[in-house]
Copies of this chain bind each other. A is one copy, B any other.
Amino acid sequence: MKIKPDIENQRLTRKIQGLDESLRIKEIDVVEERPLTLFLNSQEIVTMMTINDYPKYLAIGYLLNQNMIKKEDELTGVDFDDDTSTIIVRTKRKTNFENKLKKKTLTSGCAQGTVFGDVMESFNNIIFDDSYKLKLEWIYQLSKKINLTPSLYLKAGAIHGCVLCKKNVPIIYMEDVGRHNAIDKIAGYMFLNKISSNDKIFYTTGRLTSEMVIKSVQMKIPIIISRSGFTAWGVELAKQANLTLIGRAKGKKFIALSGEHRIEKK
């Protein structure tokens, strides 16, 4: 794996003491969430709650997945300031999202909360071809490898994971309090490291909601695998984009509700 959870990083978890069911003192590891305020050039965009392990990947991935910057955009600077917990992304192209920021849709589930109208427009223009296939065994091989990787989830719980995979190999494993952050951090990493998307698979611990499908299509990743369940609109959007949507992946079990034709037995 190029990136995996850093369970030794003292900034990401904290030991907190409480009482257990026998009213005995017990100490557990708890995950941190910190505010991070994002500026695009001179404009304040949003304040996010994040474990803040990769502010630059998060900021760039967020802006990409919100269509606020484009893959072609030239970044002239990305400055993170730890004291004020702000990050400024600077682009050569002038940007202004005054109006865009007014009109938003709250998405469901463990969602980053907003999808903008023009994101849906670009969504409607993307339909995956069938070129990329998925071997049946990869599904549980990936689940097993990911579940056995030491993670903040195993250490402290209450965190989501999202993993970019190629074939049966996990490549980039990001975690965050909000699943949307984990996805955006992967998007930012892919952008900065020019990683191709159409031969990749997304593994997520979270539910397969409309918002998850929209982000995956934005990122041009044709296959999503989740240990969790589906929403009906998530399935509809996946079918529209010819995205392979595999949920309830536990042990060797799973169910695919969209793009099943990509799954090959051998």
Which residues of chain A have a CB within 8 Å of any CB of chain B? 13-14, 16-21, 23, 26, 28, 30-35, 46-50, 101-102, 104-114, 136, 139-140, 156-158, 160, 176-178, 181, 207-211, 228-235, 247-248, 252-258, 260, 263, 265
Q: Known contacts A49-B107, A113-B112, A178-B106; decide if A208 and B32 are in contact (CB<8 Å).
A: no
Question: In the assembled complex, how far is the CB of residue A151 from the closest CB belonging to chain B, in whole angstroms?
Answer: 13
B19-A260 in contact (CB<8A):
yes
Given contacts A28-B230, A30-B235, A111-B178, 16 further A-B contacts (CB under 8 A): A16-B230, A16-B257, A18-B255, A19-B263, A21-B139, A21-B252, A21-B255, A23-B260, A26-B255, A32-B233, A33-B108, A35-B105, A48-B105, A49-B107, A102-B102, A109-B178
A260 and B255 alpha carbons, distance in the complex (Å): 42
CB distance from A37 to the nearest CB of B (A): 9
A260 CB, min distance to chain B CBs, angstroms = 4
Q: Establish whether residues A102 and B104, one from each chain, have CB atoms under 8 Å apart when the complex forms.
A: no
List the 9 shortest-distance A-B pairs measured between CB atoms, nearest first.
A113-B113, A158-B229, A108-B177, A157-B229, A49-B108, A18-B257, A47-B105, A108-B178, A19-B260
Smallest CB–CB gap between A181 and chain B, Å? Answer: 8
Cα of A254 to Cα of B257 in the assembled complex, Å: 36
Residues of chain B within 8 A (CB-CB) of A33 are 108, 209-210, 231-234
A23 to chain B, nearest CB (A): 6
A112 to B234, CA, bound (A): 18
Shortest Cβ gap from A100 to chain B (Å): 11
Q: Tell me, rounded to whole Å, the shortest Cβ–Cβ distance linking A155 to chain B.
A: 11
Provide 13 A-B residue pairs closer than 8 Å at the C-beta atoms, listed in order of the A residue. Answer: A13-B232, A17-B257, A21-B136, A23-B260, A28-B230, A33-B232, A46-B106, A47-B104, A49-B233, A102-B102, A109-B177, A111-B178, A177-B209
- Shortest CB distance A84–B (Å): 15
A18 interface neighbour in B101, B177, B211, B260, Cβ under 8 Å:
B260
